[in-house]
Amino acid sequence: MLKKFVVIFGFISMLLLFGGCANNGMLVGIHATNVELSDANFEIVAPNLIGQSEAAYILGFSMSLGSSTQTMALARVKGTGMLYKEALEDLWKRFEAQNGKIEGAN
């Protein structure tokens, strides 16, 4: 009886571990740009502008290893899990709210 319980508990634990929500939030930049700001050849259009995003999980944990962030959880209850995309969209919404529509933007 105890052996059967251990096997069933182990099976359910494996299902929860490997069948839950998982997210790899690694952002790898492939473009490099150098900007020379020593001359007065620039204008600051929106200082201190930020974009925010959040997600909520049930029975989850996150760990970060350098530029990669791993999130594993039983279920996501808030947000889409696409934190970088949502934060960037929020940043542009805040910019447009402060400075108007961007010329040439879709």
Q: Rounded mean pLDDT of 36-42?
A: 79
Report how far residue 99's alpha carbon sits from residue 64's, in angstroms, rounded to the nearest whole number.
35
16-33 pLDDT, tens digit per residue, is 666 555 555 555 566 677
> Which pLDDT belongs to residue 24?
54
Of residues 21 and 57, more confidently modeled: 57
> Which pLDDT belongs to residue 93?
92
pLDDT of 55 over the 80 cut = yes
Q: What are the b/e assignments for 6-33, b being 16+ CB within 10 Å?
A: eeeeeeeeeeeeeebeebeeeeeeeeee
| Residue 76 per-residue DSSP state | E
> Which pLDDT belongs to residue 27?
57
CA 103 to chain centre: 28
Report how far residue 93's alpha carbon sits from residue 51's, in angstroms, rounded to the nearest whole number.
9
pLDDT of 3 over the 60 cut = yes
Residues 60, 79 contacting (CB under 8 angstroms) = no
> Which pLDDT belongs to residue 64?
73
Q: Is the pTM of this model over 0.85?
A: no
Q: Which range (16-20, 33-37, 71-75, 89-93) has the least confidence?
A: 16-20
- Number of other CB atoms surrounding residue 38 within 10 Å: 5
Report how far residue 89's alpha carbon sits from residue 55's, in angstroms, rounded to the nearest whole number.
15
